[in-house]
């Protein structure tokens, strides 16, 4: 592993069947395999900011909240809205952004992992929108099928951040943006309009910050927030010359920023998702611990 530094208590119980249904629906309802996509030529910029469309990823966002018993609350924003009285604390909160294929089993594992380590997590599914064009085909794999998807993902990220800060159970001084793949691109390139829509820090998993499209390039951190980027050197999605590299090439001035490039000869160095690895998990938790208030 090559490391570049610096860069940059009522408790709710669920039956087994309820949890199983929640878990399975999580990665089947908003995923490439089940989503009915809109033809790209039928997409309109007006759809991107339509309040009804913007609200759908938020109300359908999956929620994970650590409970005092060591358990985890699992539900969605629409499940928990109006019934948050059992939450007596404010939690450091992660806004988690999925990849181009939408919610999948790996998303559930990631947000459960963060919740088990003390963070509330809100994971908005952009594919909950009625008007949404397909941006990738993971069976080939093929990306870049709908360039403007990044605009939609930015809108959904900003909305989730602003809405999260209105909740009684979030610690607004500690809101973090974390994303995988296309969610990582969104995390890297997200530009808050003001301090209200900013975050405490960012974690980018599975993205190089290099692209042929200008708006996909680099890291946008107008408030110099710390960034942790994680990428495998031989990630199969990023072997074209214009995609090779790492986010450390776009370092900001925050001394807590860090770029991790997996180049150790193991299978991990040829992977795309990295957060299942214990070392990567530790690096991520250590980073979040250092940057939180």
In CATH, what number is assigned to the domain containing residue 109?
3.40.50.1820
DSSP, res 148? T
CA distance 24 to 5: 39
Domain that holds residue 214: 2-291
Angle at 192 between CA 186 and CA 193, to 5 degrees: 135
pLDDT higher than threshold 70 for residue 13: no
Q: What is the number of domains present in the chain?
A: 1
Contact (Cβ atoms closer than 8 angstroms) between residue 75 and residue 63: yes
Q: Of 270, 238, 42, which is closest to residue 143 (Cα–Cα)?
A: 238
pLDDT tens-digit series, residues 180-214: 999 999 999 999 999 999 999 999 999 999 999 99
If pLDDT is split at 50, 70 and 90, which confidence band does 5 have? very low
Alpha-carbon distance of 211 to 230, in angstroms, equals: 16
- Mean pLDDT within 52-80: 93
Residues in the chain: 293
Do 223 and 204 meet the contact criterion of CB atoms below 8 Å apart?
no
Share of the chain above pLDDT 70, in %: 90
Structural tokens at position 190 = 């997200």
């Amino acid at each position: 592993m090559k490391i570049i530094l610096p860069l940059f208590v009522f408790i709710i119980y669920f039956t087994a069947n309820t949890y199983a249904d929640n878990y399975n629906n999580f990665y089947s309802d908003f995923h490439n395999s089940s989503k009915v996509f809109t033809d790209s030529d039928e997409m309109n910029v007006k759809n991107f900011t339509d309040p009804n469309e913007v609200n759908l990823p938020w109300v359908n966002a999956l929620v994970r909240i650590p409970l005092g018993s060591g358990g985890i609350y699992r539900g969605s924003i629409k499940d928990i809205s109006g019934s948050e009285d059992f939450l007596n604390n404010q939690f450091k909160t992660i806004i988690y952004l999925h990849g181009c294929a939408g919610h999948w089993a790996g998303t559930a594992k990631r947000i459960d992992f963060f919740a088990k380590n003390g963070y509330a997590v809100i994971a908005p599914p952009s594919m909950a929108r009625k008007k949404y064009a397909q941006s990738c085909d993971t069976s080939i794999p093929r990306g870049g099928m709908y360039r403007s998807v990044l605009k939609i993902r930015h809108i959904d990220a900003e909305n989730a951040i602003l809405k999260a800060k209105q909740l009684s159970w979030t610690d607004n001084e500690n809101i973090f943006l974390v994303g995988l793949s296309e969610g990582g691109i969104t995390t890297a390139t997200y530009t808050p309009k003001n301090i209200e829509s900013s975050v405490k820090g960012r974690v980018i998993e599975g993205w190089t910050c290099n692209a042929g499209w200008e708006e996909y390039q680099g890291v946008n951190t107008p408030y110099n927030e710390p960034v942790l980027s994680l990428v495998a050197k031989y990630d199969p999605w990023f072997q074209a010359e214009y995609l090779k590299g790492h986010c450390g090439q776009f370092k900001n001035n925050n001394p807590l920023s860090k770029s991790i490039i997996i180049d150790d000869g193991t299978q991990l160095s040829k992977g795309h998702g990295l957060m299942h690895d214990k070392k990567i998990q530790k690096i991520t938790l250590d980073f979040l611990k250092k940057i939180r208030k």
